[in-house]
């Protein structure tokens, strides 16, 4: 069992915590994303409408929610970016649950799932006003990459990428 799956398995074996792989229609995922959007409206300020247009849930098929004592506390999602690359989206941990490693656990679960789906790489975007997220991504092995796609030329965006290692080409993606 690789290190990524081990971290997720430890969560699943804890009495107080659980990890759920789900979809963007999951009510707990939507609840956390609504909280995320409220927070980003403040953090992003006048730029929120620009970023918000790229964060719609209709293109997201794979989501992860972490529960603590049956309460949703952290989430993230995968979005198809290319045949070899998944984009990490909608990473969020409720304020009263930050600093406990939940975001890292969500990210590890998303990476494991992406690898199972046959992706070779994950990319993501975060804003310069999110230093905690930036630290998480560096700590998790992500490297800064040139801003991609809709974020190219956007000075307030930082883009990151990470190789997921060897992945069998025969896996099917449900994007």
Q: How many domains does the chain have?
A: 1
C-alpha atoms less than 13 angstroms from C-alpha of 142 in its C-beta half-sphere: 26
**In this predicted structure, which of 28-42, 60-74, 100-114, 157-171 has the lowest mean pLDDT?**
157-171
Q: Is residue 128 assigned to a domain?
A: yes
Residue 166 has pLDDT above 70, yes or no: no
pLDDT grade, residue 5 (50/70/90)?
very low
Residue 6 has pLDDT above 50, yes or no: no
How much of the chain, in percent, has pLDDT values that exceed 90? 71
Q: Is residue 172 assigned to a domain?
A: no
Q: When comparing pLDDT for 107 and 129, which is higher?
A: 107
Q: Is residue 168 assigned to a domain?
A: no
Pairing of strands 143-145, 85-93: unpaired
CATH code: domain of residue 74: 3.40.630.30
Q: Is residue 72 assigned to a domain?
A: yes
Instruction: Name the average pLDDT for the chain.
Output: 87
Q: Is residue 126 assigned to a domain?
A: yes
pTM: predicted TM-score of the whole model, two decimal places: 0.84
Q: Cα separation of 100 and 166, whole Å?
A: 30
pLDDT at 165: 84
Q: Is residue 76 assigned to a domain?
A: yes
The domain in which residue 61 lies consists of: 3-163
Q: Is residue 147 assigned to a domain?
A: yes
Q: Is residue 170 assigned to a domain?
A: no
- Among left, alpha and beta (phi > 0; psi -120 to 50; other), residue 79 is beta
Q: Cα separation of 133 and 136, whole Å?
A: 5
Residue 127 has pLDDT above 60, yes or no: yes
Q: Cα separation of 152 and 150, whole Å?
A: 6
* Tens-digit pLDDT profile for residues 48-104: 677 777 777 888 999 999 999 999 999 999 999 999 999 999 999 999 999 999 999
pLDDT at 175: 55
Neighbours of 43 (CB within 10 A): 14
pLDDT grade, residue 43 (50/70/90)?
confident
Q: Do the Cβ atoms of 164 and 119 come closer than 8 Å?
A: yes
Residue 157 has pLDDT above 70, yes or no: yes
């Amino acid at each position: 069992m690789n290190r990524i799956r081990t971290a997720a398995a430890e969560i699943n074996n804890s009495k107080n915590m659980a990890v759920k792989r789900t979809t963007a229609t999951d009510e707990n995922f939507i609840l956390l994303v609504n909280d995320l959007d409220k927070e980003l409206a403040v953090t992003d300020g006048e730029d929120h409408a620009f970023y918000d247009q790229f964060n719609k849930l209709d293109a997201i098929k794979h989501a992860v929610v972490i529960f603590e004592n049956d309460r949703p506390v952290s989430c993230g999602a995968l979005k198809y970016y290319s045949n070899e690359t998944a984009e990490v989206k909608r990473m969020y941990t409720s304020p009263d649950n930050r600093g406990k490693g939940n975001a890292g656990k969500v990210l590890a679960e998303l990476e494991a799932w992406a690898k199972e789906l046959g992706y070779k790489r994950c990319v993501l975007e975060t804003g310069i006003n999110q230093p905690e997220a930036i630290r998480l991504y560096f700590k998790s092995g992500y490297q800064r990459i040139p801003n991609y796609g809709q974020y190219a030329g956007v000075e307030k965006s930082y883009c990151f990428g990470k190789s997921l290692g060897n992945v069998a080409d025969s896996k099917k993606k449900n994007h």
